[in-house]
Amino acid sequence: MVTFSRIFSLKGFLCMLFAAMAFGFASCEKDSVEEPVKVNQMELFYNESKGLADTSIDSVGSFSDKFCVYMNQHHEAINDEYYSPTVDNMVSAAAAFGYKLTISTGVGITFDTEWDEGYFITF
C-alpha cells in the first residue's frame, strides 16, 4: 500500500508539473512589442503656439521660456518644419499684447522691462 501511494503521488506531481510546463510554454510565445510613438516636440510646440494670442503675456513668456529650454537641448530642431511657424506665432502673440519679440543668434530670452515695450528671444 505504501508503494501504491508513492506512485500515485509521484504520478500526480508529474501531471501537475507537465500541466505547468504546458501552460508556461503556451504563454512564452513572442510578445508583440509595439514601437513607441515618436512625438514631434516641435509639432506640439506649434500646436500650443497657435493659441498664444488668446492667453496673456505671462503665458507667452512661459511658453517662450519652455521653447528656449527645448532649443538649447535640441539645436537640430531649428531645421524642423514647425520651427518657423512656431516662432511666427510667438512673435504675433507678443505683438498682440504690445510687445516686440526679437529672434537672433544664441539662445536666451530677455524682457525689456525699462521700456516695457520689448520682449527679446535669442537663438
Task: Please report the beta strands in 4-76, taking only residues with DSSP state E, as ranges in sequence order.
Answer: none
CA 107, CA 85: separation in Å to the nearest integer?
18
pLDDT in tens, 12-68: 666 666 666 666 655 555 555 666 666 789 999 999 999 998 999 889 889 988 988
Entry pTM = 0.57
More confident position, 71 or 14 = 71
- Tell me which amino acid residue 57 is: I
Q: Give the percent of the chain with pLDDT over 70.
A: 52
Helix (H) or strand (E) holding 22: helix 2-26
pLDDT at 85: 94
Residue with cell 503665458: 59
